[in-house]
Amino acid sequence: MVEAGLGVSIVPLMANGAVTRNRRVEVLAIKEAIRPIHSGLLLRRGETPSAPVARLMAFIKSRSLSADVR
């Protein structure tokens, strides 16, 4: 979305450059540490996930510290 001109983003930067390699974006390192954020997988309400998405959900749930699903 940043490359398309739709805003800015704070992302974890990989040491190997995987996040920004071959992208038309500028990287500004944040010097102070940022506290970890909670992440989640968003699905359309009432829609049945495809088989690949269901496998991803199972993978995420198997490694989750919390079973908080909303």
Q: What is the pLDDT of residues 9-55, one digit of tens each?
A: 878 777 788 878 888 888 887 888 777 777 778 888 898 989 988 99
Separation CA 12–CA 15 (nearest Å): 10
pLDDT for position 9: 84
Local confidence band at 67 (pLDDT 50, 70, 90 cut-offs): low
Query: Tokens in use for 4?
Result: 């398309």
Instruction: Please choose, from the candidates 30, 33, 52, 31, the residue with its C-alpha nearest in 3D space to the C-alpha of residue 41.
Output: 52
Reported as a pLDDT band with limits 50, 70 and 90, residue 66 is low
Joined together, the tokens standing for residue 26 give 């500028």
